[in-house]
């Protein structure tokens, strides 16, 4: 039999073979193939903005531009991963060569190379939110505030204040008045702590997330030669989700573009700007043409994502916002079902509905991975999550729990961090305090008498100085020796991160975890996973950097539930983390007043419009089916009785003809529920239900939500 011929397509260099005309509409094609200079693509959800950027990269490569001359950034990690993946599928270019990712990851890359100009070593630590809190706690002590008696802001509040100050450049004093008037009396102490925090970070050779942006910008602004060099290098700058960039990010982009002749393409949708609480600066997009003279504007007006029915609803909703670029959006898709409006009696019933409908959808052929459950704040998901677990439906929570911020993971990585960056006091203390017989006083004394070191070997030498050990009280000696021994083994593993993790475990952490944690098995499993994860990296430095950025930027997806092997799960996500993504069916749950819009947002200027944009982002994720649900009763807990809730105003303002109401009945069971048990969830379900609803109206759910970091 003649052999079948199989021809391997030769790829010339990495010039992709893409049929740009066939894959894009006319408006998109014009943007993809345009010439140099500042460009702004402003368009509604689902019109192919990200697709246009992706193809633009493809186009540039096909024109002979090298991948390393392209910078492709976006706002959240999920979106960045999705976008870079789309580029890879389209062009098959090696992603490592492209400067792609989030602002923070590109900033870290830049600062590793050039941070020495600001006095940092190449192995500076990156502080995540919990490190930041630890360091702030030290600063509070330094400044000598007596925090007993009157209420003093927690390190978390201090961290948010400082971060908002950095990202908006609003004076700290004003922010305190605006956001936390209850702390006005502490203003002086807060300012002193903020200053101390800056010094402490420097001393520790550490940067927090905001520093990754501000110091990057500082270097670009201070050093014209560097700016020019990067301008030469990053010939094409492409930014997605521009509506959510803050002042600092906007200036970074413009500083880079200044060096490359203004070759900047920004893409965004003002109606999807939902990060004001993190300092998103609307003006970046609204005044882009003014700030970048000669800007060519492209509009994309065909929605490819959603059915006309879903589009009609989302258009009607966003039309209630006065302040926006006017856009006409037309549907390209065939007609489908009307979005469903589902009033439920109580959260349990809402969860029951979601679960049953998901099972039906699966039977009808929609894979679970094409289904998402969206909510405004993490606390809204718990009832649904419990029901999914009971029904054995696999699901994945986007960024719900920060894997890398769990105590055991941080304990282990603290050992690695301090070796790599011996000036990292937070890591030093964390690792040391784990040892028996060593408390704060001894740790302080050790830190103070330790010879300053910047390199791992030098650090080890300092640790091994005998008189240091001799100064210790006898009860602390064994612990100290164990710490030094672990440090020694980590120093030997600088190029073997997996072995480094294992050496910390074997150096005593595993034994400690067994006595310290009741659920130590699952924690040890986590640490095993951590070692496996570490094995992907060549150096400890690379591993730690990735880890800290991952930790904050998108948390760890929590997977649970049974189901078929390899079945990709249903996604549970806050709206903030769902940006740029799409699913066949979307369940938007807990749409009640006080939750969406959130109570706190309403008290702020522009709050209602921002919340409406959140509603818009959530609903525009759906391709075919959209389910909007809310529980009428909020079950009571403890002394508090059940409360009646109002459906979200964003549901009430939509013309009723655009939705189909669904009425939910509980099928009668052999033991028909008593009227009383209808008011309150049954035992067992109760824990999930009341916890799910248990949010403090005084706390903006978003502040407790890691969605910004995806």
Which of 484, 511, 489 is closest to 500 using CA atoms?
489
Which region, judged by CB under 5 A, interacts with Mg ion, from 45-53, 586-594, 596-604, 665-673? 45-53
Distance between CA 603 and CA 143 in Å, rounded? 33
Q: 177 or 297: whose CB is closer to ligand ATP?
A: 297
Q: Is 50 in the site for Mg ion (CB under 5 A)?
A: yes
Residues that contact Mg ion, how many (by CB under 5 A): 3
Q: Is 47 in the site for Mg ion (CB under 5 A)?
A: no
Report the partner that residue 45 touches, choosing among ligand ATP, Mg ion, none (CB closer than 5 to 8 A by kind): ligand ATP
Q: Is 54 in the site for Mg ion (CB under 5 A)?
A: no
Q: Is 24 in the site for ligand ATP (CB under 6 A)?
A: yes
If you search the block for the tokens 């400082």, which residue do you land on?
162
Distance between CA 402 and CA 554 in Å, rounded? 8
Which region, judged by CB under 5 A, interacts with Mg ion, from 43-51, 344-352, 404-412, 654-662? 43-51
Distance between CA 420 and CA 544 in Å, rounded? 9
Q: Is 284 in the site for Mg ion (CB under 5 A)?
A: no
Distance between CA 243 and CA 76 in Å, rounded? 12
Q: Is 49 in the site for ligand ATP (CB under 6 A)?
A: yes
* Surface-to-core class of residue 658, CB atoms within 10 Å of its CB (0-12 exposed, 13-18 middle, 19+ buried): middle
Q: Closest separation between CB of residue 319 and Mg ion, Å?
A: 21
Contact pattern for ligand ATP over residues 284 through 323, marking x by CB under 6 A: --------------------xx------------------
Q: Closest separation between CB of residue 240 and Mg ion, Å?
A: 6
Distance of CA 626 to the CA centre of its chain: 24
Report the partner that residue 245 touches, choosing among Mg ion, ligand ATP, none (CB closer than 5 to 8 A by kind): none
**Alpha helix positions (H), 146-234:** 155-168, 172-179, 187-203, 209-222, 224-233
Q: Tell me the angle at which helices 497-504 and 474-491 cross, rounded to the nearest 10 degrees.
A: 160
Contact pattern for ligand ATP over residues 251 through 290, marking x by CB under 6 A: ------------------x--x------------------
Mapping DSSP onto H, E and C, the string for 76-144 reads CHHHHHHHHHHHHHHHCCCHHHCEEEEHHHHHHHHHHHHHHHHCCCCCCEEECHHHHHHHHHHHHHHHC
Q: Is 48 in the site for ligand ATP (CB under 6 A)?
A: yes
**Residue selected from 27, 31, 47, 418 as contacting ligand ATP according to rule CB under 6 A:** 47
| DSSP secondary structure string for all residues of 530-596 | HHHHHTT-SSHHHHHHHHHHHHHHH-EEEEE---STTPPPEEEEETGGGTT--EEEEEE---BTBTT
**Beta-carbon count within 10 A of 444 CB:** 12
Q: 50 or 130: whose CB is closer to ligand ATP?
A: 50
Q: Is 306 in the site for Mg ion (CB under 5 A)?
A: no
Q: Closest separation between CB of residue 88 and ligand ATP, Å?
A: 15
Q: Closest separation between CB of residue 607 and ligand ATP, Å?
A: 22
Report the partner that residue 28 touches, choosing among Mg ion, ligand ATP, none (CB closer than 5 to 8 A by kind): ligand ATP
**Residue selected from 159, 343, 580, 597 as contacting Mg ion according to rule CB under 5 A:** 580
542 Cβ contact partners less than 8 Å away, ≥ 6 residues apart: 497
Residue 526 dihedral angles phi and psi, to the nearest 5°: -55, -45
Residue 630 dihedral angles phi and psi, to the nearest 5°: -155, 145
Q: 50 or 130: whose CB is closer to Mg ion?
A: 50
Applying CB under 6 A, which residues contact ligand ATP?
Answer: 24-25, 28, 43, 45-51, 269, 272, 304-305, 580, 582, 620
Applying CB under 5 A, which residues contact Mg ion?
Answer: 49-50, 580
């Amino acid at each position: 039999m003649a052999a079948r011929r199989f021809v391997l397509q030769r790829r010339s260099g990495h010039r992709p073979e893409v049929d740009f005309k066939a894959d894009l509409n006319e408006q998109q094609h014009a943007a993809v193939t345009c010439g140099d200079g500042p460009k702004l693509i402003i368009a509604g959800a689902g019109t192919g903005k990200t697709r246009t950027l992706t193809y633009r990269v493809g186009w540039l490569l096909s024109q002979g531009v090298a991948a390393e001359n392209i910078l492709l950034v976006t706002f959240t990690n999920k979106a960045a991963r999705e976008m870079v993946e789309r580029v890879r599928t389209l062009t098959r270019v090696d992603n490592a060569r492209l400067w792609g990712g989030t602002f923070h990851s590109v900033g870290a890359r830049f600062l590793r190379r050039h941070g020495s100009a600001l006095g940092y070593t190449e192995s500076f630590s990156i502080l995540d939110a919990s490190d930041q809190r630890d360091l702030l706690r030290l600063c509070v002590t330094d400044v000598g505030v007596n925090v007993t008696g009157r209420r003093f802001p927690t390190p978390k509040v201090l961290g948010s204040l400082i971060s908002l100050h950095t990202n908006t450049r609003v004076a700290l004093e004003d922010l305190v008045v605006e956001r936390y008037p209850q702390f006005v009396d502490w203003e002086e102490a807060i300012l002193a702590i903020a200053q101390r925090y800056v010094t402490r970070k420097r001393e520790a050779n550490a940067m927090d997330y905001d520093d990754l942006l501000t110091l990057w910008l500082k270097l670009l602004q201070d050093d014209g030669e560097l700016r020019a060099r990067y301008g030469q290098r990053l010939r094409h700058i492409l930014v997605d989700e521009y509506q959510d960039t803050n002042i600092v990010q906007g200036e970074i982009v413009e500083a880079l573009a200044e060096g490359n002749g203004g070759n900047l393409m920004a893409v965004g949708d003002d109606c999807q700007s939902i990060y004001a609480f993190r300092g998103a600066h609307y003006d970046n997009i609204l005044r882009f043409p003014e700030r970048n003279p000669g800007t060519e504007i492209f509009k994309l007006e065909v929605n490819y994502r959603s059915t006309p029915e879903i589009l009609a609803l989302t258009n009607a909703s966003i039309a209630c916002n006065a302040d926006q670029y006017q856009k006409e959006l037309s549907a390209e898709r065939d007609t489908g079902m009307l979005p469903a409006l589902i009033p439920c009696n109580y959260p349990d019933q809402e969860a029951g509905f979601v679960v049953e409908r998901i099972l039906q959808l699966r039977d009808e052929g929609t894979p679970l991975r094409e289904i998402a459950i969206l909510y405004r704040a993490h606390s809204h998901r718990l009832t649904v999550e419990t029901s999914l677990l009971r029904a054995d439906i696999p699901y994945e929570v986007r960024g719900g729990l920060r894997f890398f911020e769990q105590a055991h993971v941080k304990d282990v990585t603290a050992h690695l961090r301090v070796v790599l960056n011996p000036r990292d006091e937070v890591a030093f203390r964390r690792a040391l305090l784990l040892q028996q017989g060593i408390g704060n006083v001894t740790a302080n004394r050790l830190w103070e008498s330790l010879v300053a070191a910047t390199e791992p070997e030098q650090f080890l030498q300092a640790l091994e100085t005998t008189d240091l050990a001799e100064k210790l009280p006898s009860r602390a000696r064994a612990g100290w020796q164990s710490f030094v021994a672990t440090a020694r083994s980590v120093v030997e593993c600088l190029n073997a991160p997996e072995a480094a993790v294992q050496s910390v475990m074997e150096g005593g952490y595993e034994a400690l975890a067994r006595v310290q944690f009741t659920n130590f098995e699952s924690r040890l499993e986590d640490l095993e996973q951590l070692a496996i994860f570490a094995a992907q990296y060549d150096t400890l430095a690379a591993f730690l950097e990735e880890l800290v950025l991952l930790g904050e930027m998108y948390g760890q997806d929590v997977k649970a539930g049974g189901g078929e092997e390899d079945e990709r799960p249903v996604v549970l996500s806050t709206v903030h983390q769902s940006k740029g993504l799409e699913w066949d069916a979307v369940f938007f749950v807990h749409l009640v007043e006080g939750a969406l819009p959130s109570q706190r947002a309403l008290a702020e200027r522009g709050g209602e419009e921002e919340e409406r944009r959140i509603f818009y982002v959530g609903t525009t994720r759906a391709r075919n089916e959209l389910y909007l649900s809310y529980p009428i009763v909020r079950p009571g807990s403890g002394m508090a009785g059940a409360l009646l809730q109002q459906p979200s105003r964003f549901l009430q303002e939509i013309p009723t003809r655009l939705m189909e109401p669904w009425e939910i009945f509980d099928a009668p069971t052999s033991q028909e529920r008593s009227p009383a048990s209808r008011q309150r969830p049954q035992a067992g379900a109760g824990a999930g239900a009341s916890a799910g609803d248990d949010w403090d109206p005084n706390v903006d759910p978003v502040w407790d939500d890691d969605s910004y970091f995806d």
